[in-house]
Amino acid sequence: MIDTIEAWQCIGCGRVEAPQTCIGVCRDRKVLLVGLADFEQVCTEADVLRARLLDIRSELQRFALAKPHAGRWDAAWEALQTRVRELLAGPAAELPPSAR
């Protein structure tokens, strides 16, 4: 679980105060802050997922544009199933644990 810190951020100038608001004239709103290491880990995981989605989209587009020859629908369906199984089985190890 990612640790957060409750703080207050001015809606005008962006100043951050913790653990309570200042007594100035700023208008504050509550925000939750996370550590840099946690943030960078989430960004890395998001990049991996985006790349994976692009790969899957590319394969889906390939299937969407394909048109089997007459009488070859069964073979096309089997090829599609095989490729989808490969996509589901192979790169799953590359996904971050939170995405499995």
Q: Based on the fold, state whether residues 46 and 30 are members of the same structural domain.
A: no
Number of domains in the chain: 2
Q: Which residue has the higher pLDDT, 23 or 80?
A: 80
Residues 30 and 47 in one domain: no
- Whether the CB-CB separation of 45 and 96 falls below 8 Å is answered with yes
Residue 98's pLDDT band (cuts 50, 70, 90): low
Residue 93 confidence class, pLDDT cut points 50, 70, 90: low
**Distance between CA atoms of 96 and 38, rounded to whole angstroms?**
13
Q: Answer yes or no: do 88 and 49 share one domain.
A: yes
Both 29 and 57 in one domain: the answer is no
User: For 27-83, what is each residue's pLDDT tens digit?
Assistant: 778 888 888 899 999 999 899 888 888 888 888 888 888 888 888 888 888 888 888
Q: At what angle do helices 36-65 and 73-89 cross, to 10 degrees?
A: 170
Domain range for 29 is 4-34
